[in-house]
Amino acid sequence: MTALLASIVEFRNFLGTHVLFALGAMLLIGYLIGRLCGIIKLPEITGFIIAGIVVGESVLGVVPYTMTPSMKVITEVALGLIALAIGAEFSLAKLRRLGVEIVFMVVAQLVLVFVAVAGVLSLLGLDPAFAIILGSIATASSPAVIVAIVQNLRAHGTFVDYLYGIVALLDAGTVILFGISFSLAVGMLGLTAAGAGPFTLFLSAVLEVVLSLVAGAIVGLFLHATIRRRRRSGEIMIITLGTVFIVTAVAIVFHLSPLLVNMTAGAVLINLSARHHRVFRSLEPLTPPIYALFFVLAGVELRLALLMNPQILLLGGAYIVARNVMKTASVYLGGRAAKVPKVTAGNLGLCMFPQAGVALGLVLMVQASPFTAMMAPQQTALVDTMVNIVLLSVFINQLVGPPILKRAILRGNNMEE
C-alpha cells in the first residue's frame, strides 16, 4: 500500500511539472466544485476558490505553489477583461440619472473604509506601508455577485439604481485609491529613488492615474475606429483581445494601472456608441474559462498552513470586521448626508460585503510587481501574508455576503421573498 501511494505521488509530481496538466486540472475541478456550490446556493466563485485550495499544495498538490509564477499571465488577462467590462457600466446617460447621492456614498465608503482598515491593521502591528495597501483593497466590492442576486430576485427600482451606481463608481474609485496607496507604500518601503518625499510620491501617484486615464481614452478611441464597421463577432473578438493583451502589457511595463487603462477604454467605447455592446457580447464565450482559472489560481495561492498562523487569523479577522462594519456605516452616513431615506441607506451598506475579482486582482498585482522582487525577505513574507488576508476575506465574504445581500435587497426594495 505504501509503495502504491508513493507511486501515485511520484506520478502526480511528474504531471504537476507540466503547465497544461495543471491548467486542465484547475478547469475541471473548478467546474465540478463550482457546480456543487451552485447546488447549495453558494456563488460559483466560492467553488473556484475552494477548487484552488484542493488542487494546491494544501490538499492534493496537483498544482505546486512554485508553478504559480508561470501562470501570472492568467491574472493579467483576467484583470484586463474585468476592467473592460466594468468600464462598460460608465454610460453617461446612466450617470446623469443617478445623481449626487451616489457620489456621496461612494466617497464616504472609500475614505472611511480605507482609514478604518489601515488604522486597525497598523495598530495591530502590521507595517503601515502594507496596511495602507490593504486599506485601499478593502474598499472594493464584487459587482458580479451583486448583479447575479439582483437578477435572480428580478429586483428593480430606485434601490437597485443606487446599488448599481455605487458598484460601478466604487471599483473605479478603488483602482485610483489603490494606485495612490501603492505608490506611497513603495516610497515608505524605500524602494524608490533616494530623496523622494511624500509629496513627490503623491504627485507621482496622481500622474500615474492621469496617464492611465489618458492611455485608456486613446485605446477606447482606437477600438471604436477599428471595430465600428466590423460585422462578424469573431473579428471583433480578435481585435478586442489583441488590444487588451497589448495594452495590459504596455501598462505594466510603463508602471501604469492596467485596470484603470482598460476600464477607461471600456467607458470611452460604450459612450461613443451603444452598438459597442456587441464588443462585450463577443467576449462572453471566452470569459468563463479565463475567470475560472483566475479564481482557481487565487485559491492555489491560499496556503492553509499559513492561515493557521495566529497572526494571519488576527489580522485577517480584524480586516474583515473593520471592513464590513465600516462598509455599512460609511454608506449609511454618506446616504444620509445626501438625504437618502434611512431604510435605503442602511441596506445599501449591507450589499457591499461580497469581495472578489478586483480585490484579488489588486493584491495579486502587488505580488507580481517588480517592486516585490526588490524587497527584503521580511517584506516579501509580508506580501504573502497580505495575499492570504485578502483571500481569507474573499472566502468568508463570499460565504456570508450573498445571504446578507439578498435580505438587504428585499428590505431596501420593499419586496416579499
* Residues 6 or more apart whose Cβ sits within 8 Å of residue 35: 44, 47
Burial 314-343 (b: 16+ CB within 10 A, else e): ebbebbbebbbebbbbbbbbbbbebebeee
Question: How confident is residue 6, by pLDDT bands cut at 50, 70 and 90?
Answer: low
Report the pLDDT value the prediction gives residue 194, as an integer from 0 to 100. Answer: 43
The predicted-structure confidence for 36-54, as pLDDT tens digits, reads as follows: 887 887 767 778 888 888 8
Is the pLDDT at 149 greater than 80, yes or no? no
* Residue 20 maps to a domain: no
pLDDT at 14: 57
pLDDT for residue 195: 45
Determine, yes or no, domain membership for 9. Answer: no
Cβ atoms 49, 298 nearer than 8 A:
yes
Q: Is the pLDDT of residue 326 over 80?
A: yes
Place of cell 501617484: 205
For residues 171 and 408, which has the higher predicted lDDT (pLDDT)?
A: 408
User: Between 119 and 184, where is the model more confident?
Assistant: 119
Quick one: pLDDT at residue 375? Answer: 66
Residue 209 · residue 252 · CB < 8 Å: no
For residue 24, the model assigns a pLDDT of: 87
Beta strands in 131-228 (DSSP E): none
Confidence of residue 319 (pLDDT cuts 50, 70, 90): very high
What DSSP character marks residue 66? G
Q: Which of 225-239, 317-331, 349-363 has the highest mean pLDDT?
A: 317-331
Residue of 26 and 65 predicted with greater confidence:
26
**Domain around 198:** 68-412
Tally of domains in the chain: 1
Burial of 199 (0-12, 13-18, 19+ CB in 10 A): exposed
pLDDT tens digits along 264-308: 898 888 888 777 777 877 887 887 888 788 878 877 876 676 667
Tell me if 271 sits within 8 A of 93, measured CB to CB. Answer: no
Q: Is 304 helix (H, G, I), strand (E, B) or coil?
A: helix
Q: Tell me, what's the pLDDT at 215?
A: 92
User: Quick one: pLDDT at residue 301?
Assistant: 73
Which of 151-165, 174-188, 191-205, 258-272 bottoms out in mean pLDDT, i.e. has the lowest?
A: 191-205
Instruction: Convert the pLDDT of each residue in 216-266 to its tens digit.
Output: 999 999 988 888 877 787 888 888 889 999 998 898 888 787 878 888 898
Q: Is residue 60 part of a domain?
A: no
Residue 63 lies inside a defined structural domain of this protein: no
Does 13 map to a domain? no
Do 191 and 133 form a contact (C-beta atoms < 8 A)? no
**Pick the residue with more confidence: 330 or 56?**
330
Evaluate whether residue 392 is within a structural domain: yes
**How many other CB atoms sit within 10 Å of the CB of residue 116?**
20
pLDDT (average), residues 132-160: 79
Rounded CA separation 262/265 (Å):
5
- Residue that has been written with the C-alpha cell 430576485 in this structure: 153
Nearest to 140 by CA among 175, 115, 186: 175
DSSP state of 139: T
Q: Assess if residue 15 is contained within a domain.
A: no
CATH number at residue 152: 1.20.1530.20
Quick one: pLDDT band at residue 172, thresholds 50, 70, 90?
confident
The answer to whether residue 32 is domain-embedded is no
Give pLDDT, residue 9.
57
pLDDT digits (tens, 9 = 90+) for 87-137: 776 777 766 766 678 888 999 999 999 999 999 999 988 888 888 989 998
Decide: 54 and 33 in contact? Cβ < 8 Å. Answer: yes
Q: Which of 48, 68, 46, 47 is nearest to 57 (CA)?
A: 68
Report the mean per-residue pLDDT for the chain.
79
What is the value of pTM for the model shown? 0.73
How large a percentage of the chain has pLDDT more than 90? 10
The burial of 219, by beta-carbon neighbours within 10 Å (0-12 exposed, 13-18 middle, 19 or more buried), is given as buried
| pLDDT value of position 120 | 92
